[in-house]
Amino acid sequence: MNTLSSPKGTPEIVKPSNLAMNRYEHTKQFILGKLQSGLPAGLTYHGYHHVLDVLNAAEMLCDKENVSPAEKELVRVAALFHDSGFMLNVVNHEQIGCDMAKKLLPEFGYSETEIDTICGMILATKFPQQPHNRLEEIMCDADLDYLGRPDFFSIGNTLFEELKSSGNLTTLKEWNQLQVTFLTAHKYFTRSAKELRDAQKEVHLQEVKNMLAKQ
């Protein structure tokens, strides 16, 4: 194992000595290890599992949107880093994650131009989402892919618990009001996400409205 010094406030880099492993695999192994041990335990939604979920959604959307292998690699790295800032601070975590990427990714062979592209994707996920190109659209849609999936309510419950534990919400009625507001305002950006998720997302919106009417 080769140990590389890291800037203050960022995880120490320990690069595997396996020369057959490419730079993406090195990066994935490193950041997932840090996320698994470094994310606060109270993040029932923004946890390790969420990163893997977004990574899977990003890979799926890249394939459906026919992005190049080089672009797909950058999207995958952005997915891995997009919530890494939570390891240091919940507030402004997107910018923190971008800063971490800028400090760490050169050690794995990523160029300044590639890192700028990755940071653009990370920052685009900040609410309200504001993507400026196709890769940023893919990242934004992957981050909220669950809104139009069958596991919407089970995943949503983990966010409700996280918001309750942080003191941002206290009641189920408040949560459902927030969900109605959020789902009404949200839109997918890529053609593939719209085709795959829009219809089910509208069903979920109506179901939450029905629940709210009974509360």
> Rounded CA gap, 82 and 55, in Å?
10
Q: What is the pTM of this model?
A: 0.89
**pLDDT at 16 exceeding the cut of 90:** no
Residues 104-149 pLDDT 10s: 999 999 999 999 999 999 999 999 999 999 999 999 999 999 999 9
Average pLDDT over residues 182-193: 98
Interval 34-91: pLDDT, tens: 999 999 988 999 999 999 999 999 999 999 999 999 999 999 999 999 999 999 998 9
pLDDT at 38: 96
pLDDT band at 1 (very low <50, low <70, confident <90, very high): very low
Upstream peptide bond of 69 is cis (omega within 30 degrees of 0): no
